[in-house]
Structure 1
Amino acid sequence: MSTPVEAIEPTPVAEPNRKPRRPWTSSVTTVGLPVLSVIAFLALWQVAAASGTWSETFVPFPSTVWHAFVNTMTTHDGVRGYQGYLLWEHLYMTLRRVLVGVIIGVGLGVILGLAMGSVTWLRSLLEPWLTFLRALPPLAYFFLLVIWLGIDEAPKITLLALAALPPAAVATTAAVVAAPVGLVEAARALGASRAQVIRDVVVPSALPETFTGIRLSVGMAYSSVVAAELFNGIPGIGGMVKDASNYNNTPVVLVGIFAIGFSGLIIDGLLRAAERRAVPWRGKV
């Protein structure tokens, strides 16, 4: 009778020495470095303004810009903000125009991208026009929009929509074309209709690139907002910047630029958070 063999436990292999991760290190990298870069930027700005190389009209002191910011946020000496509107009211009008323009442009761009990516002849027909529109600077056709639509809200929103449309359309088209052929064929083999293939296979695989296109669309709309508010742009950040530049009011111009930039950073952060929630499989498949 054979004697049962005792199970031999494997000898644990010693892992190489690993330095323990320190949670505070990532916090310093995430928060400390941006703060340090801002401090360095302000210091260089202060040095440049104090050097006297440039006139204060061209390079005002940071404190001067801060006072301009406070003035645009409050009522002082009987003057309410800038041109009768507080800074947040200017920013609200600009963000509202950008939001409406981006919703229209991105909505049309995504639909157009899905259609162009799914239908070859439609892509061949529309792609040259899309490239043509993408190559045009928004200011080139804004005056034409003013002639056609007047100087109210219609040309501004149309300009922002036209600026936002190409990035979303191009990104969605490329993502649909690059959809995994194996998954598409497998879905068709299982009896899925064309609409079901698009809904269950093509759209999920295209979502990551579509979100990238949406972020680019928002950036394009933001870069066009000053042009969109050239005429009758007050209240609006772009209109405020344009009006202040007419009087060489550099501090107010810088306040407007910072307002656009910081609000753009916040919106991009929100889009990144939405992307992480909507497309949790990005980078994992």
Structure 2
Amino acid sequence: MSEQETADLGQSMKVVADHRRARRVGQVRRFALQAGVLVVVLLAWWAVTASGLIRPLYLPSPGAVWTAFVESNSCRPIAEGSSRTICGEQNYYMWEHLIASLQRMGVGVGAAIVLGPILGFLMASIGWLNTAIEPYLNFLRSLPPLGYIGLLIVWFGIGDLSKYWLLFLAAFPPIVIATINGINGIRSDTLDAARSMGANRRQVATEVVLPSALPEVIGGIRIATGFAWTTVVAAELNAGIPGIGALAYVSGTQLQTALTIACIIVIGLAAVALDAVIKRLGTLLVPWYGKA
């Protein structure tokens, strides 16, 4: 290797190192900003509650919310001096409520993730099928979950089956639509080039259409999962215990505001974690997406 090539290689490695260093600095700054905003919000929350401007019934202090969270994940005496204890809330720890809701999500949204891309691919490939089904798909997508939860209970009972259906119907349309948009967004010259090189229909579908549409499909899954998670309270209004949505609803009706806020925070954090997992899986499945 000549001296010039060695110098060029060293310069390239320096550029890469500088880029990585700048990215790490950017990540630290973003984390510091987000942490700073969180601290300000908590301080403002504490100041408002400590000043007595708002009654604890309407806005408990951060400490009260934390206490409610801890008690919902531990056992405590029923009364002072009593040897009998009560564990969690509604006979379940909060983490058990959360796991129950995630299991329902896994079944309902999981079915949508499996069936949604299949229908989307068929609708994008068959014109008359798209014309026939699209209006009903949009109709279903526009319905609020509370609008048909009662009907699902009549059809499937108050058990988990009606909850699975509700979460499935909430997640299914966005995934189908995202799949259709992903396939329709593929340039025709890309397909023609694959065919001109001798690719058959199966190869075009698996090696061109699927990789090209996959980023849109994953984006649709992210949106669908988020929307389905927002319906978890509606899904668990009836016989939803154990369930984090049901716990939030029941605690609200019992004026346990601190516990309600604790449930809301857990629901929000779970949503952020779910989205981060799906985003990470998308990065692993389509590492080329968004890169020049």
TM-score (normalised: structure 2): 0.88
Corresponding position of 2:108: 101
The residue that corresponds to 1:113 in the other structure is: 120
2:56 counterpart residue number: 56
Correspondence for 1:139: 146
- 2:40 equivalent in structure 1: 40
The answer for unaligned runs of 5 or more in structure 2 is: 5-14, 78-84
The answer on 1:128 being equivalent to 2:135 is yes
User: Where does structure 1 differ by over 6 angstroms across 4 or more consecutive aligned residues?
Assistant: none
Are positions 1:174 and 2:181 aligned together?
yes
* C-alpha contact (below 8 Å) 1:244/1:253 kept by paired residues: yes
Aligned-pair distance for 1:99? 1.1
The offset of 1:48, in angstroms, is 2.4
Assess if the C-alpha contact under 8 Å between 1:106 and 1:161 holds in 2: no
Asked if 1:190 corresponds to 2:193, the answer is no
Higher-Rg member (1/2): 1
Q: Distance in 2 between matches of 1:185 and 1:121?
A: 23
| AA partner of residue 132 (structure 2) | L
AA at the equivalent of 2:113: V
How far does the alpha carbon of each residue in 1:124-179 deviate from its partner, in whole angstroms, 9 at most, with x for none? 11111111011001111001000110000100010000001011111110010111
Shift of 1:281: 1.0
Per mean C-alpha deviation after superposition, the further-off stretch among 161-170 and 27-36 is 27-36
Out of 78, 92, 96, the residue aligned to residue 89 of structure 1 is: 96
Q: Could you tell me which of 245, 253, 272 is aligned with 2:252?
A: 245
Instruction: Check if 1:154 corresponds to 2:156.
Output: no
Instruction: Specify the SS of the correspondent of 1:73.
Output: coil
Larger fraction in helix: 2
Is 1:45–1:61's contact at 8 Å kept on the other side of the alignment?
yes
TM-superposed CA distance for 1:110, in Å, is 1.1
Per the TM alignment, residue 265 of structure 1 is displaced from its structure 2 partner at its CA by 1.0
Between the aligned partners of 1:37 and 1:110, the Cα distance in structure 2 is 39
Inter-partner Cα distance in structure 1 for 2:126 and 2:200: 15
RMSD (CA atoms): 1.9
Distance in 2 of aligned mates of 1:189 and 1:119: 22
> Partners in 2 of 1:133 and 1:47 — Cα distance?
45
Q: Which whole-Å CA distance do the structure 1 matches of 2:44 and 2:130 have between them?
A: 50
Decide which moves more: 183-192 or 65-74: 183-192
Deviation per residue, 1:232-278 (Å, 9 max, x gap): 11111011111111111111111111111111111111111111110
Once the 2 structures are TM-superposed, how far is the Cα of residue 192 of structure 1 from its aligned partner?
2.6
Q: Match of 2:279?
A: 272
In 2, Cα distance between equivalents of 1:69 and 1:273: 29
> Where does residue 282 of structure 1 map in the other structure?
289
Equivalent position amino acid for 2:207 in 1: D
**Partner residue of 1:164?**
171
Give 1:282's aligned amino acid: Y
Give the aligned residue type for 2:101.
T
